[in-house]
Structure 1
Amino acid sequence: MALLTLAEAKAQLDIDTDAHDAELLAYVEAVTPVIEQFTGPVENRTVTEQVNSRSNLLALSQAPVVSLTSLTPVLTGGQAVDVGDLAVDSAAGVVRRLDGGSFAGGPWTAVYVAGRGTVSPTINLAARIMVQHLWRTQYGAARGMVGGGDDVSVTEPIAGWGYAVPYRVLQLLEPFKAPPGVA
């Protein structure tokens, strides 16, 4: 599952030849981490990490969470927890025991799939627009693009994002914004 395919980027840019595929693929691949910095993981990936808890909750670092694969204590001799006995708040990346118990005996090694399961059409559109915005740098002054064109002037940077991410992309991604402390 790709956030954006080469074919989708070519369609957005009205490119019908293969002449720029290698270069355009670099743009397509560069868009994913920028989008995911704002939304958290979109493309599904397996994550293995150590987590600690002093309560009955474990907070995974990458949300949303598609599924929890395993939860085992790091220390030898500890008992793995059956993932069927756990509830995962997918959006927040928080794991809790269904029996109300705590996560004693940690730290724990959590293996899970982070991402969204499917790419929302809105996130895909934001990625298409971002590739289009970045691809415009190919034109330079020849097409009147000095100073930012119609996206935003380089003298008006977006707080925390700079000029690479136009307002329209941020507005499309707003409903998918990662919770604080995630992404």
Structure 2
Amino acid sequence: MALLTLDEAKSILSLPSGTQYDDELTVYIEALTEVIEAFVGPIDSREVVEQADARGQILVLLQTPALSLTTFAPVITGGSAVNVADLHLDGTSGAVGRLDGAAWSGGPWTVTYQAGRSTVPASLTVAARLLLQHWWRTRYGAARGNPGGGEDFDVNEPVPGYGYAIPNRVMQLLEPYRRPPVVA
């Protein structure tokens, strides 16, 4: 699921109706959804299957927020699957623990679960709109100019891995939803 529709993007950018910009806008919408998901995790609900290993009493899923667990089975043939009803999932952090408090053993595990959001927070939609505007305004570089300033789109510090492609205001909107760091 993209954060914006093609019609929404045209409206945000005040583009004329018609298909002149459709291909370019579609790429922008897909790219901004990928960029925002890199910071906040999946936007729409999707099935994730991953191999996870646990130490002690907690196993941490990589895709957060996690909505629900589907299956939990050992990778090693002959091991016993764990009933997901016997597990506790902290969806925000992706931490999975046993309700009986026992430590994990017998892994690694193949975990199938639903990750994403049941609703998209408004600030993530606003971040997507601002990012689209920023990219559209800067798509032809300095030659295009930006009459009237552009303070809302200032990028004072590069974002690791993205350089100056993400404005400060977008990063501020994403911050409350940032994925927790992954510890190996």
TM-score > 0.5 by shorter chain = yes
Could you tell me whether the CA contact under 8 Å between 2:12 and 2:129 is conserved in 1?
yes
Counterpart AA for 2:5:
T
Could you tell me whether the CA contact under 8 Å between 2:2 and 2:29 is conserved in 1?
no
> Given the superposition, is the C-alpha separation of residues 108 and 141 from structure 1 closer, same or farther in structure 2, using an over 3 Å criterion?
closer
Question: C-alpha separation between the residues in 2 aligned to 1:102 and 1:141?
Answer: 57
Gaps of 5+ in 1: none
Structure 1 position 68 matched with structure 2 position 57:
no
Partner of 2:168: 167
Partner of 2:158: 158
Partner of 2:146: 145
Question: C-alpha separation between the residues in 2 aligned to 1:14 and 1:91?
Answer: 36
Could you tell me whether the CA contact under 8 Å between 2:74 and 2:106 is conserved in 1?
yes
Partner of 1:116: 117
Question: C-alpha separation between the residues in 2 aligned to 1:51 and 1:140?
Answer: 44
Shift of 1:40: 2.1
Partner of 2:29: 28
TM-superposition CA deviations, 1:77-128 (whole Å, max 9, x none): 1111111111100000010111222221111000111112221111011001
State the percentage of identical aligned residues: 52
> Given the superposition, is the C-alpha separation of residues 53 and 22 from structure 1 closer, same or farther in structure 2, using an over 3 Å criterion?
same
TM-superposition CA deviations, 1:42-61 (whole Å, max 9, x none): 23222111111121211111
Gaps of 5+ in 2: none
Question: C-alpha separation between the residues in 2 aligned to 1:70 and 1:16?
Answer: 48
Question: C-alpha separation between the residues in 1 aligned to 2:139 and 2:33?
Answer: 20
* Partner SS for 2:35: helix
Question: C-alpha separation between the residues in 2 aligned to 1:57 and 1:143?
Answer: 52
What is the number of residues matched between the two proteins?
179
Partner of 1:14: 14
Shift of 1:15: 2.2
* Partner SS for 1:125: helix
TM-superposition CA deviations, 1:18-55 (whole Å, max 9, x none): 22111100000000121122212223222111111121
Could you tell me whether the CA contact under 8 Å between 1:43 and 1:116 is conserved in 2?
yes
* Partner SS for 2:48: strand
Counterpart AA for 1:114:
A
The TM-score with structure 2 as length reference comes to 0.87
Question: C-alpha separation between the residues in 2 aligned to 1:137 and 1:50?
Answer: 40
Question: C-alpha separation between the residues in 2 aligned to 1:14 and 1:164?
Answer: 21
Q: What root-mean-square deviation, in Å, do the aligned CA atoms of Structure 1 and Structure 2 show?
A: 2.1
Shift of 1:138: 4.3
Partner of 1:106: 107
Structure 1 position 81 matched with structure 2 position 82:
yes
Partner of 1:43: 44
Moved more, 172-181 or 82-91: 172-181
